[in-house]
Chain A
Amino acid sequence: MHKFLIRSFVSSLVLLFTLTVAAVAKDVKAAFVYIGPTGDHGWTYQHDVGRKAVEAAGFKTTYVEGVPESADAERVLRQLANSGHDIIFTTSFGYMNPTNKVAKEFPNVKFEHATGYKREHPNVATYAARFYEGRTILGTIAGTMTKSNVIGYVASFPIPEVIRGINSFTLAAQKVNPNIKTKIVWAFTWYDPGKEAEAAKALIDQGADVIAQHTDSTAIVQMAEKAGVYAFGQASDMDKFAPKAVLTSVENNWGPYYVDRVKAVANGTWSQKDTWHGIGDGMVVISGLDSQMPSDLQAKVKKLQADLASGKVHSFTGPIYDQKGNLMVAEGKTADDGMLAGMMTYVKGVEGDIPK
């Protein structure tokens, strides 16, 4: 009896202690601001998958979807900061100025802005993913699988992020197949199924038999499925939308980063930084490879993936030439992050000009 009392006393103490720790740690509330609907199966969908990972880790989360980058963004941010949220993730480039503005008014709230470059206050961090590493994999697959040697690429906006992807993709494709050409169609949208499908159609009509995309909807892979050409999923695993066309997808995996940062707020260790993670840190994930790909290609892709993760291979390793034949990166060198961040010229092998 005596023993039992002590044991129950100790165990209740332990329970109380864990409960208290849990209560302290899990009091942190995180908020997410989305540009699109959570059901877009692309950009916003993947951020919401990340948010659910934060919930699974035991934190309370809130989200607001479809927030335009107009004057409305600032109000939503202020309301979230005002209603007891400790960390706010703003997941579109256009929220950059509102994020910094509201961050100034709420020094105790942490702000995390995706894909931007402004960190005007100590409570603003930025983060982005090295999607170009994923595109090195896609380029390798596209260069091997194409028969017409014409590869189509539906691009969104002529910004460094997208140009970098086109270049990384083309360089990798050239490495396995020096004869390929990358044809670009600019859709001037991130998400517009109608426009994206039209762009894909135009590329297929010009002889492209593999289509890559830097826009978010599933319209392109579905168009590829109909036309009997190959394609790659963007942001999330799009295999189920076009099982024959999709060879693999590059997935944006925000969950680990989000959990990390929210935990850092809970532990009081959060600090401002600029994060740019790739395959190695698990922010960029390659989905399962389609069985239509020959086994030696699959093995090659697996190895490349491991080498990109370990840093043995860099997507931009010299010699790299621009369209006019000028040397961009010398032999044996790799492009540094500064050059990648401001990349606004096509490499050799990309057709057409960057819209100005």
Chain B
Amino acid sequence: MIKIVKRDQPSKAIFFFTPVLAIFLTLIAGGIIFYILGFKPFEALKFFFIVPIADKYGFSELLLKATPLCLIAIGLSFCFKSNNWNIGAEGQLTFGAIVSGGVALLFYDQEGFYILPIVILAGAIGGMIYASIPAILKTYFNTNEILVSLMLVYVSKLILDYLVVGPWSNPEGFNFPETRQFSDSARLPLLFEGLRIHAGIFLALAAVVISWFVFYKTYLGFQMKVSGFSLKTAKYAGYKGKKMIILVFLISGACAGLAGVGEITGPIGQLHREVSPDYGFTAIIVAFLGRLHPVGIILASLVVAITYLGAETAQIFMQIPKYTGQVFQGMILFFLLASDYLLFFKFKFIGSKK
């Protein structure tokens, strides 16, 4: 007989094992789905997970796709670790892109080394401003940050719509909803000739290193951890909760804003209505799949990025509907949450002794 017993303490080994288990289960379930749909499961999985990154170009596209996911997820981990549920990274990304894009447009006919740093800084500030709204409302008016941050996503997209359709639209562009192209000085430099991977990846790597340092080597990281376990304890210990809430939201907003900068000054080169294919939401999956650990988040962002690339390849070569990519992302999160059960419970075999 098998009995389910509660663990005395969540297992540390299983904490890092379950994401791997979740990915493994997703692959199996994905193979079964492909089989039911009438595709050869192994061939489909090959086109989904191996073919897209089999060459140098494919691998550079993987890094390009993973960069914003990693950057946003690192920012979100500051919030999630300390019990602040910022669901609006997509809005912070969009607002960061708006502010930095606006600055880039000011310099559209100029060249100069000083332009790019200003544009990047503007994006970070834009994201911080936008993230401060749910933070301030939470600290001073006790509103629910999940609702506020989520709803602000739609507001930011409407602001972007308004700007690219109206005042910021390209004067030579027949009123189509897009701005002018930015000048070369406002674009992030490419790392290799012929590949799209750009200097934005260093922003993501810097965020990884800094977050690791803050989480594990500073007093702030310790405070966040305590608040994450128990808000009451944090209060009892005398931590200044309000300051921390605002701080983690600002960090998170800056990261999302920088991800927006990376998109518009990297591969896109202008503002239009679709700056991000919902990176801000997908990064939530990345943050949890990476266990809110900086290294875990790097790995998770690569795994999730490949579901995007794989979906395209699978449709081109096997006519598998592209929306399967989203099914995979959903399954990863589902299996992760399900296997978290193992964190708190264990199976005990008690059949042998009667």
User: How would residues 301 to 333 of chain B score, 1 for a CB under 8 Å from any chain A CB and 0 otherwise?
Assistant: 000000011001101110101110000000000
Are A94 and B274 neighbours in the complex by a CB distance under 8 Å? Answer: yes
* Chain A residues whose C-beta falls within 8 Å of the C-beta of B203 in the assembled complex: none
> With A65-B321, A159-B175 known to touch, is A71 a contact of B266 (CB < 8 Å)?
yes
A322 CB-CB contact with B under 8 Å: no
> With A65-B315, A79-B313 known to touch, is A70 a contact of B161 (CB < 8 Å)?
no
User: How would residues 132 to 166 of chain A score, 1 for a CB under 8 Å from any chain B CB and 0 otherwise?
Assistant: 00000000000000000000000001111000000
B273 CB-CB contact with A under 8 Å: yes
Are B315 and A159 neighbours in the complex by a CB distance under 8 Å? Answer: no
Are B277 and A72 neighbours in the complex by a CB distance under 8 Å? Answer: yes
CA distance A187 to B313 in the complex (A): 34
Give the interface centre of B57, B161, B176, B315 by most chain A CB atoms within 10 Å. Answer: B176
A188 CB-CB contact with B under 8 Å: yes
* Chain A residues whose C-beta falls within 8 Å of the C-beta of B319 in the assembled complex: 62
A140 CB, nearest partner CB in chain B, Å:
27
* Chain B residues whose C-beta falls within 8 Å of the C-beta of A74 in the assembled complex: 196, 267
B117 CB-CB contact with A under 8 Å: no
Are B166 and A355 neighbours in the complex by a CB distance under 8 Å? Answer: yes
Are B315 and A356 neighbours in the complex by a CB distance under 8 Å? Answer: no
Are A37 and B308 neighbours in the complex by a CB distance under 8 Å? Answer: no
B236 CB, nearest partner CB in chain A, Å:
47
CB-CB contacts below 8 Å: B24-70 with A: 57, 61, 64
Are B312 and A75 neighbours in the complex by a CB distance under 8 Å? Answer: yes
Are B322 and A158 neighbours in the complex by a CB distance under 8 Å? Answer: no
Are B322 and A341 neighbours in the complex by a CB distance under 8 Å? Answer: no
User: How would residues 239 to 268 of chain B score, 1 for a CB under 8 Å from any chain A CB and 0 otherwise?
Assistant: 000000000000000000000000100111
Are B322 and A66 neighbours in the complex by a CB distance under 8 Å? Answer: yes
CB-CB contacts below 8 Å: B132-191 with A: 158, 161, 165-167, 174-178, 181
Are A94 and B166 neighbours in the complex by a CB distance under 8 Å? Answer: no
> With A72-B277, A72-B308 known to touch, is A83 a contact of B316 (CB < 8 Å)?
yes
Are B317 and A83 neighbours in the complex by a CB distance under 8 Å? Answer: yes
User: How would residues 83 to 120 of chain B score, 1 for a CB under 8 Å from any chain A CB and 0 otherwise?
Assistant: 00000000000000000000000000000000000000
* Chain A residues whose C-beta falls within 8 Å of the C-beta of B167 in the assembled complex: 356
CA distance A62 to B318 in the complex (A): 9
B19 CB-CB contact with A under 8 Å: no
A63 CB-CB contact with B under 8 Å: yes
B269 CB, nearest partner CB in chain A, Å:
7
* Chain A residues whose C-beta falls within 8 Å of the C-beta of B174 in the assembled complex: 117, 159-160, 341-342
User: How would residues 58 to 89 of chain A score, 1 for a CB under 8 Å from any chain B CB and 0 otherwise?
Assistant: 00001111111111101110111001000000
B121 CB, nearest partner CB in chain A, Å:
22
A83 CB, nearest partner CB in chain B, Å:
6
A346 CB, nearest partner CB in chain B, Å:
14
User: How would residues 280 to 312 of chain A score, 1 for a CB under 8 Å from any chain B CB and 0 otherwise?
Assistant: 000000000000000000000000000000000
Are A93 and B322 neighbours in the complex by a CB distance under 8 Å? Answer: no
> With A79-B316, A157-B177, A159-B174 known to touch, is A71 a contact of B267 (CB < 8 Å)?
yes
A317 CB-CB contact with B under 8 Å: no
B276 CB-CB contact with A under 8 Å: yes
> With A70-B263, A97-B269, A356-B167 known to touch, is A159 a contact of B177 (CB < 8 Å)?
yes
Report which of A62, A70, A97, A159 forms a contact with B316, defined as CB distance below 8 A.
A62
Are B268 and A71 neighbours in the complex by a CB distance under 8 Å? Answer: yes
CA distance A71 to B272 in the complex (A): 11
Are A68 and B274 neighbours in the complex by a CB distance under 8 Å? Answer: yes
* Chain A residues whose C-beta falls within 8 Å of the C-beta of B273 in the assembled complex: 69, 94
Are A71 and B165 neighbours in the complex by a CB distance under 8 Å? Answer: no
B211 CB-CB contact with A under 8 Å: no
Are A76 and B312 neighbours in the complex by a CB distance under 8 Å? Answer: yes
B55 CB, nearest partner CB in chain A, Å:
10
Are A69 and B316 neighbours in the complex by a CB distance under 8 Å? Answer: no
Report which of A79, A157, A159 forms a contact with B312, defined as CB distance below 8 A.
A79
B315 CB, nearest partner CB in chain A, Å:
5
CA distance A239 to B164 in the complex (A): 35
B270 CB-CB contact with A under 8 Å: yes
User: How would residues 25 to 63 of chain A score, 1 for a CB under 8 Å from any chain B CB and 0 otherwise?
Assistant: 000000100000100000000000000000000000011
A344 CB-CB contact with B under 8 Å: yes
* Chain A residues whose C-beta falls within 8 Å of the C-beta of B73 in the assembled complex: none
Are B270 and A65 neighbours in the complex by a CB distance under 8 Å? Answer: no
Q: A65-B315, A117-B174 are in contact. List 16 more A-B contacts (CB 8 A).
A: A65-B322, A67-B312, A68-B274, A68-B277, A71-B267, A74-B196, A75-B312, A76-B312, A79-B312, A79-B316, A83-B316, A94-B272, A157-B165, A188-B158, A188-B165, A355-B165
Shortest 6 CB-CB contacts between residues of A and residues of B? A71-B267, A68-B277, A69-B274, A70-B274, A356-B166, A159-B175
- A and B contact pairs by CB, cutoff 8 A, 9 listed: A65-B323, A70-B276, A72-B277, A83-B317, A158-B175, A159-B175, A160-B175, A188-B161, A342-B174
